[in-house]
Chain A
Amino acid sequence: MIPQFIIISVLLFSIGLVGVLLRRDILIILMSTELMLNAINLLFVTFSRMHQQIDGQVFVFFIMTLAAAEVAVGLAIVVMVYRRLKTTDITKMGRMKG
């Protein structure tokens, strides 16, 4: 079942990438990033089983930590931007002044 898991992981990663490229709501872009990170998690677990070593699962643990930190800071920034600009549309955030 190893190849099937790799194919599913690649497909999920590509779908997440399309989400980042195609949407302009910053919340959905963050969600697509989570989707990509999860595809990588699945790939790490698959390779961990392939090599019969636990190290891949430890990496997944660290990626989960990173994702939690990223979401906390990212959503804080989203809330702050919304408070100033009253929008979550990334095309309306293209200005570098307060």
Chain B
Amino acid sequence: MSVFFFYFLSALALLSAVSVIFQKNPVYSALSLIVVFFSIAGFFLMQGAFYLAVLEILVYAGAIMVLFLFVVMLLKTGEDTMLYLPSVAKMGTIFVFISVLAGLFGVYLNEHISSSFAGKFGVMFGQDFEMLHAGGVADLGGALFTKYLFPFEIASVLLLVAMVGAIFITKREKKT
């Protein structure tokens, strides 16, 4: 059951992610991105990160994407914004895609296969782990307010700065 759920969610996430970058209309891109966020929230649930799953839907699908949709609908975006790159640059993009993918997989496979790491990482990757039974609000809050108290305060200052900055940037200049 869990395996079926995982493959369903991953197919959904990958298809929607491809749809995000290949839709012509930015509104459809934003809607596809919401589907990606929901499937990532499902992944979080599968891994026992319950609070983060709720937060993912609230913050990303709720707040950030609403902001995106507002701006997309506010602006009249171009009709055809697909990149019309010359074919050399398009080849370059595909090359970058393949090389990044190969690099990341290479790091992973290296850890996976290499016998020198087999003592530690091979065994780690080979076996499956049970859920981390500490994904609730209480566990996350406990870590957040003891070990990570200072970064938490910094994050609140960051949010304040972003809020003031966004208001300041979009403020209309007074005609003098």
Contact = CB atoms under 8 A, between A and B. Distances in A.
B68 A65 contact: no
A45 B63 CA distance: 21
B164 to A, nearest CB: 10
Given A48-B49, A67-B60, A12 B125 contact: no
A73 B166 contact: yes
A18 to B, nearest CB: 5
A15 B43 contact: no
A12 B64 contact: no
Contact of B104 (A3, A10, A16, A21): A10
Given A42-B43, A50-B129, A73-B162, A78 B55 contact: no
A7 B36 CA distance: 16
A91 B38 CA distance: 32
Nearest to A62: B155
Interface residues of B, number: 79
Interface string A55-96: 101101110111111111101111110100001110000000
B158 A18 contact: no
B14 A57 contact: no
A12 B13 contact: yes
Given A31-B68, A38-B36, A45-B44, A58 B75 contact: no
A14 B104 contact: yes
Interface string B153-172: 00100110111011101100
A61 B144 contact: yes
A52 B132 contact: yes
Given A38-B40, A58-B147, A69-B158, 12 more contacts: A3-B112, A7-B108, A10-B105, A21-B93, A21-B97, A24-B82, A25-B78, A27-B68, A31-B26, A31-B30, A48-B47, A58-B148
Interface of B: 2-3, 6, 10, 13-14, 17-18, 20-21, 26, 29-30, 33, 36-37, 40, 43-44, 46-49, 51-52, 55-56, 59-60, 63-64, 67-68, 71-72, 74-75, 77-78, 81-83, 85, 90, 93, 96-97, 100-101, 104-105, 108, 112, 124-125, 128-129, 131-132, 134-135, 139-140, 143-144, 147-148, 151, 155, 158-159, 161-163, 165-167, 169-170
24 contacts: A3-B125, A8-B13, A11-B101, A12-B13, A12-B17, A15-B21, A17-B96, A18-B93, A19-B20, A21-B96, A25-B81, A28-B20, A28-B81, A34-B33, A38-B37, A54-B140, A55-B143, A58-B143, A64-B60, A66-B155, A70-B162, A75-B166, A79-B71, A89-B78
